[in-house]
């Protein structure tokens, strides 16, 4: 594992203790971690998938809006938090790593350290009723 900011290490530790699914991305958008509750919705244990570049996980998860239209990664709540450094929320339908389509509510939050250092973003999500 590459060296990470202490804040990212602490956020990862915090996420590992939550019962809410959490997905953590670095400043460049790479997947750094998702917790055990997220594994059930994403369809694969983190130990099996591991960290991955944004291009790889962006291609793996087929994300759609409520009408079935593809959503660019930059418009997903996590993408908005990463690119625009502001919170965002929405409902997304995606194809999980186990091939199952799931509807989730997701909130993306930017991670900023002291001095305005951009660390990345995290997404907290939960299963939603299809609309």
Q: Report yes or no: 88 and 80 within 8 Å, Cβ to Cβ.
A: yes
Q: Does the pTM exceed 0.95?
A: no
pLDDT tier, 130 (very low <50, low <70, confident <90, very high otherwise): low
Q: Report yes or no: 99 and 86 within 8 Å, Cβ to Cβ.
A: no
pLDDT (tens digit, 9 = 90+) per residue, 57-107? 767 888 999 899 999 888 999 999 999 999 999 999 999 888 999 999 999
3-class DSSP state for residue 59?
helix
Question: Residue 89 to residues 2, 48, 53, 65, 78: CA-CA distances in angstroms?
Answer: 30, 28, 23, 13, 9
Query: Which tokens go with 110?
Result: 């930017």
Query: Which tokens go with 94?
Result: 């995606």
Residue 29 pLDDT more than 70? Answer: yes
Residue ranges and CATH numbers for the domains of the chain are 6-127 (3.30.450.20)
N- to C-terminal Cα distance for the chain?
40
């Amino acid at each position: 594992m590459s060296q990470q900011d202490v804040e990212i290490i602490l956020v990862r530790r915090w996420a590992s203790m939550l019962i809410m699914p959490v997905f953590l991305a670095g400043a460049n958008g790479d997947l750094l971690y998702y917790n055990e509750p997220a594994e059930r919705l994403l369809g694969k244990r983190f130990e099996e998938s591991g960290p991955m570049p944004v291009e790889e996980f962006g291609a793996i998860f087929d994300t759609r809006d409520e009408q079935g239209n593809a959503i660019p990664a930059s418009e997903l709540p996590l993408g908005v938090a990463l690119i625009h450094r502001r919170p965002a929320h929405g409902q997304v339908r995606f194809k999980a790593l186990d091939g199952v389509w799931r509807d989730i509510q997701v909130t993306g939050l930017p991670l900023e350290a002291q001095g305005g250092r951009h660390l990345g973003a995290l997404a907290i999500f939960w299963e939603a009723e299809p609309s």
